[in-house]
């Protein structure tokens, strides 16, 4: 197959199916050197891209305006490409089992428009075996073609970190795999066009699939350990951050901190591994325990808020609680699987309906997914409690006076500050008499 040379000479095109936080940056990156078709089912999103708007904030509006990518929601346009990249989300169901509907749907769409000589590369996070046992049969059924003869398939897990302006697609080593040496070679060469630090060739598709779920599971477990310490240290009256900073003076400390673990990767991927392990008769112990701890942290923070309100002599049910941040991480508009939602739910158990401020989050998504109205920070006043839940730059820049202006007029010991991300100066706030708590 001379597909790589044909792509380079613009005789053939690349398509990216799924233009979210992962797919869109990939499409734009490839669009700088080859012809790219960007496909998404969301008509509104496609119209935003066509208008030069980047709702993900990943590459910025100017990059969208300048890109040569053909943005479309017409699946027939995919017939014009022979190298397809699938970057759709892989969420979990309410029972924590994998929801493969998006990747199955993408396989059906590509299959209907697949032509001989094509390569399909899946980037969506899945458990080992999904690409070959689930996706390939769909591609064959929909196309009438035979994998390995008429088309090839590979897997290259996405490693983009939404909101991260330092670790980008071009400087993160890309894991690549294929069903045979020929496809692996072509896939590697194609990705090397945009990944300047190079690729790592996995020996099989299953190895590449496994690498993705375990790298996020490893991080999840480490954060869970720190969260468990935070829970225990809170009971002991010990400052967790001070302990971590002392521990991190040792050369082999891992540098993890406690926090809310949400989003579409770390908070989801371990369940894919757990699911497949249990199908094989192994009940996960460490990974599942880590997930349970991290899934409980929103409620833990919610309980801490209520406790601090009581200590500040506030009537809990009538308390005005303001939460700064709804997205799953700082400086990113992505609210998927945000554990701030768990804080909101826990406060609701006590009759508290918090006010939500987030300059990054999409107002309509917040209303649809979490049932909350996002308000402007400048409208906040007379608060009893301020919760810094997400470390957006807008919140990091706030001074103590800025935060104090959000409260009602009362003694500082009646003003509750909950610092989930530990971004404030604890000693200064305590010296000023605030009722302060950090994770």
Among all residues, which ones are annotated catalytic? 265
The radius of gyration of the chain's CA atoms, rounded to the nearest angstrom, is 24
Q: Is 140 helix (H, G, I), strand (E, B) or coil?
A: helix
Q: Which of 19, 2, 20 is nearest to 11 (CA)?
A: 2
Check residue 434 and give left, alpha or beta (phi > 0: left; psi -120 to 50: alpha).
beta
Neighbours of 135 (CB within 10 A): 27
Q: How far is residue 167's CA from residue 146's CA, in Å, rounded to a whole number?
A: 38
Q: How far is residue 391's CA from residue 217's CA, in Å, rounded to a whole number?
A: 23
Alpha helices in 119-204 (DSSP H): 130, 136-143, 181-191
Contact yes or no for 199/174 (Cβ under 8 A):
yes
Contact yes or no for 135/154 (Cβ under 8 A):
no
Q: Is 321 helix (H, G, I), strand (E, B) or coil?
A: strand
The DSSP H or E segment spanning 221 is helix 205-236
The DSSP H or E segment spanning 203 is none
Contact yes or no for 388/340 (Cβ under 8 A):
no
Contact yes or no for 174/156 (Cβ under 8 A):
yes
Q: Answer positive or negative: Cα dihedral of 282, 285, 290, 296.
A: positive
Class of residue 99 by CB neighbours under 10 A (exposed 0-12, middle 13-18, buried 19+): middle
Count the alpha carbons within 13 Å of 421 in the hemisphere toward its beta carbon: 21
Torsion of the alpha carbons at 204, 210, 215 and 220, rounded to the nearest 10: 180
The DSSP H or E segment spanning 50 is helix 43-50
The DSSP H or E segment spanning 64 is helix 61-66
Q: How far is residue 231's CA from residue 233's CA, in Å, rounded to a whole number?
A: 6
Q: Which of 424, 427, 371, 430 is nearest to 402 (CA)?
A: 424
E strand segments, 19-66: 36-39
């Amino acid at each position: 197959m001379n597909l790589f040379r044909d792509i380079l000479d613009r005789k053939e095109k690349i398509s990216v199916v799924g233009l979210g936080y992962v797919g869109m940056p990939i499409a734009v990156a490839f669009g700088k050197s080859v012809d790219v078709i960007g496909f998404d089912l969301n008509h509104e999103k496609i119209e935003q891209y066509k208008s030069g708007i980047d709702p993900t904030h990943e590459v910025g509006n100017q990059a969208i305006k300048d890109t040569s990518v053909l943005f479309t929601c017409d699946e027939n346009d995919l017939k014009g490409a022979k190298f397809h990249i699938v970057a759709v989300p892989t969420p979990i169901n309410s029972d924590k089992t994998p929801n493969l509907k998006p990747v199955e749907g993408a396989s059906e769409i590509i299959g209907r428009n697949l032509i001989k000589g094509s390569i399909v590369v899946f980037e969506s996070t899945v458990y080992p075996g999904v690409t070959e046992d689930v996706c390939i049969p769909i591609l064959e059924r929909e196309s009438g073609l035979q994998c390995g003869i008429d088309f090839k398939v590979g897997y290259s897990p996405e490693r983009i970190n939404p909101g991260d302006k330092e670790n980008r697609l071009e400087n993160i080593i890309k894991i690549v795999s294929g069903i045979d040496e020929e496809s692996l070679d072509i896939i590697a060469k194609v990705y090397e066009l945009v990944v300047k630090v190079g690729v790592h060739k996995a020996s099989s598709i299953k190895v590449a699939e496994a690498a993705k779920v375990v790298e996020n599971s490893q991080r999840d477990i480490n954060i869970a350990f720190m969260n468990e310490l935070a829970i225990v240290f809170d009971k002991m009256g010990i400052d967790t951050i001070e302990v971590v900073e002392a521990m991190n003076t040792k050369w082999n400390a891992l540098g993890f901190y406690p926090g809310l673990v949400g989003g579409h990767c770390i908070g989801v991927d371990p369940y894919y591994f757990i699911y497949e392990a249990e199908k094989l008769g192994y009940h996960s112990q460490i990974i599942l325990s880590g997930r349970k701890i991290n899934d409980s942290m929103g409620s833990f923070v919610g309980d801490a808020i209520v406790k601090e309100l009581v200590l500040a002599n506030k009537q809990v049910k009538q308390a005005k609680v303001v939460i700064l941040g709804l997205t799953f991480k700082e400086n990113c508009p992505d609210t998927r699987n945000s554990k701030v939602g768990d804080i909101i739910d826990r406060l609701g158990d006590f009759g508290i309906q918090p006010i939500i401020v987030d300059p990054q989050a999409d107002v309509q998504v917040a209303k649809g997914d979490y049932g909350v109205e996002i308000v402007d920070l400048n409208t906040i006043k007379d608060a009893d409690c301020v919760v810094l839940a997400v470390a957006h730059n807008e919140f990091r820049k706030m001074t103590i006076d800025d935060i104090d202006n959000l409260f009602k007029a009362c003694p500082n010991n009646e003003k509750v500050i909950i610092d989930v991300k530990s971004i404030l100066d604890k000693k200064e706030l305590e010296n000023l008499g605030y009722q302060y708590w950090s994770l």
